[in-house]
Amino acid sequence: MKILHTADWHVGKVLRGRARADEHRAVLKELVELARAEDVDAVIVAGDVFDTSAPTPPSQALVMQTLLALREGGRQVVVLAGNHDDPRLLDVWRPVLGALGVHVVGRFRRPDDGGVLSWTTRAGEDVRLAVMPFLSHRFVVRAVEALTDTPDQHNRSYAARFAQLAAALTAGFGGDTVNLVAAHGTLPGGKLGGGEREAQTIFSYYFEATAFPPTVQYAALGHLHRRQQMPGPCPIWYSGAPIAVDFGEEHNSPGALLVTVEPGRPAQVREVTLASPRSLRTVNGSLEELEAQAESLQDAWLRVVVAEKPRAGLADRVRQILPNALTVDVDERFRPTAARREGGGAARAARTPRELFRDYLAQTGRDDPRVIALFDRLHDEVTASGGGEG
């Protein structure tokens, strides 16, 4: 059988105030086209379908439409909750999408109640898929343990109980079936993509690769945004994110995985790079240098580091040259070092607001007559209304 493994869509993501709905629509359309072109038997979406636990109606509509398109032709489609998703919302979707053939798992379930999915492929192969959505630490570590145990004990407890759950879900795996696991979480040694939620990627949320028994022929993971294979007793892969969610991921290769597997043999994996995601780039240079690069940067979201002395209106000028600049920073080499003020706090207290503001502008390299004039006008208005000089 052939599987399309994807994860970490983060639909609804807003990058520095810019909505990315059009990008997500193009990326998800490309995934649907990939499933059709490769004639896959199943699609696994290993968590973080949404970017927030309260996705907007348009975000939900886009995901719903994509899942139904992936289901076309009788493909099996499996979706599990990630740490960004609200498992309760996915469980609300569960009966409706389940009636349409899309398997949705928001929270851990018993093997006989949706924790293990079974079906037969077009080629007659029997499939067993253990579904392991994101497991919150607060559900694993009990209140009494949280009060009495050490952080290291909490970490070991989390990993041990994850392994117990995996053992319970994979206990029925045999040699004559295609045996799969889909999970969302962090394995030790995994390389971060750069945009993951740090609080849920730390050691206390790790589980061990040994949680997956050798009877598993493929473990489809989500959470780390960099596509990578992990060492373990069976083939274990993160599909990576199909779209870079932040500038920490600008050097990643957004894509998905095509997996071919048959009973009794390890899966064969092929990496696929997607063409539609908009790139994220960090550029550095003077205004003149940035202007020279402008034409080649039209299709990317930009983080700009300006190699010039800070001054009023500099960011506006950069955005005139590069309209896709989402952030504008000054190169550290051009940031002035604040000079020490003589006389200490008492001397500063004796200075007027006008003097203090002028000192601030001078020390931060923002000395501009227009800004000073505006401050003086505002200051006069305030003091004229009885605010006083101090």
What are the DSSP calls for 206-259, one per residue? B--GGGS-TT-SEEEEES-SS-EEE-SSS-EEE---SS--SGGGTTS--EEEEE
pLDDT digits (tens, 9 = 90+) for 317-366: 999 999 999 999 988 888 766 544 444 555 555 577 877 887 777 666 66
Mean pLDDT computed over 302-322? 91
The predicted pLDDT at position 77 comes to 98
Distances (CA, A) of 91 to 9, 80, 114, 316: 18, 10, 11, 46
CA pseudo-torsion sign 57, 199, 188, 130: negative
Which CATH code fits 2-273?
3.60.21.10
pLDDT, residue 349, reads 56
pLDDT given at position 389:
46
Q: Would you state the pLDDT for residue 136?
A: 80
Mean pLDDT in the chain?
Answer: 86
pLDDT value of position 334: 83
pLDDT tens figures, 178-202: 999 999 999 988 887 655 555 444 4
Given a cut of 50, is residue 305 above it in pLDDT?
Answer: yes
Encoding tokens for residue 199? 């609080």
pLDDT recorded at residue 197: 54
State yes or no: pLDDT of 47 exceeds 90: yes
For CA atoms 288, 295, 255, 53, give the dihedral sign: positive
CA dist 116 and 165 (Å) reads 12
User: Rounded to whole angstroms, what are the CA distances from 74 to 43, 57, 70, 96, 311?
Assistant: 11, 26, 9, 17, 60
Q: What is the pTM of this model?
A: 0.81
Task: For the chain, state the CA radius of gyration.
Answer: 27
Mean pLDDT, to the nearest integer, of 200-229?
Answer: 86
The predicted-structure confidence for 124-161, as pLDDT tens digits, reads as follows 999 999 999 998 866 666 544 555 556 666 677 788 88
Q: Which residue type is seen at 322? A: L
Residue 348's CB is within 10 A of a number of other CB atoms, namely 13
Q: So what's the pLDDT on residue 312?
A: 83
Q: What is the pLDDT of residue 337?
A: 64
Domain residue limits, the chain? 2-273, 280-335, 337-390
Asked if the model's pLDDT at residue 66 lies above 60, the reply is yes
| pLDDT score, position 390 | 45
- The residues, any chain, with a CB within 8 Å of residue 347's CB and separated by 6 or more, are 341
DSSP code, position 78? E
pLDDT on residue 309: 87
Which of 9-23, 61-75, 145-159, 304-318 is least confident?
Answer: 145-159
pLDDT digits (tens, 9 = 90+) for 90-107: 999 999 999 999 999 999
Buried b (16+ CB within 10 A) or exposed e, 41-56: bbbbbbbbbbbeeebe
